[in-house]
Amino acid sequence: MRLYLDLNCFNRPFDDQSQGRIRRETEAILAILTRIVERADSLVWSWALDWENARHPIADRREEIGLWRHQAVERVELTLPLEARTRQIHACGIPPLDASHLASAEAGGAEAFLTCDDVLLNRARQFRAAFPSPGPISLPFRTMNPVEYWQGVKEHGRAVDRE
């Protein structure tokens, strides 16, 4: 499957693993990243990931996360149409950076958008419900927590649509 991972997914393995949720998300993300390296899944990378990662305050983490761009099968660059699409998504109540990630995932042909951010996950799902595909405003991919995605892969060999 063609995946777009929000930057918080790449940061999750560096978080305090004493909390159960963080540990489960980390395990799922590491399994997903392994699938990307093995080419069972493919990664979409974007200018928004580069931009956000460049602002990471910890240099070694920033550098390690930045290496993942080389695993991507698609790199989405900032263009005028992408800016317009980002503004369109933002106008529907999605914060600008999150709108940039969603627009980039769409431009890169992602089939699933993975995030550990509950607020973004819920907003993207509400957006998708309000503007079902196909349509000029709709999002053509599923938004999922990495644990949801990984559970679907383990149980069914693919992601399960829970929206």
Q: Which domains does the chain have, with CATH numbers?
A: 2-156 (3.40.50.1010)
Strand extents, DSSP E, the chain: 2-5, 42-46, 72-76, 112-114, 142-144
What single-letter DSSP state applies at residue 6? -
Position 154 scores a pLDDT of 85
pLDDT exceeds 90 at position 116: yes
Residue 130 CB contacts under 8 Å (≥ 6 apart), including other chains:
92
Q: Please say if the pLDDT value at position 24 is more than 90.
A: yes
In angstroms, the CA 15 to CA 22 distance is 7
CA angle 61, 54, 60 (to 5 degrees): 20
Distance of CA 55 to the CA centre of its chain: 18
Residue of 159, 100, 106, 108 whose CA lies nearest to 135 = 106
Whether the predicted pLDDT of 136 surpasses 80: no
C-alpha span between 129 and 123 (Å, rounded): 10
Tokens of 76: 């989405």
**Would the pTM of this model clear 0.75, i.e. be above it?**
yes
Task: Indicate the pLDDT class of residue 115, thresholds 50, 70 and 90.
Answer: very high
Q: How confident is the model at residue 161 (pLDDT cuts 50, 70, 90)?
A: low
163 vs 128, which has greater pLDDT? 128
pLDDT at position 132 = 65
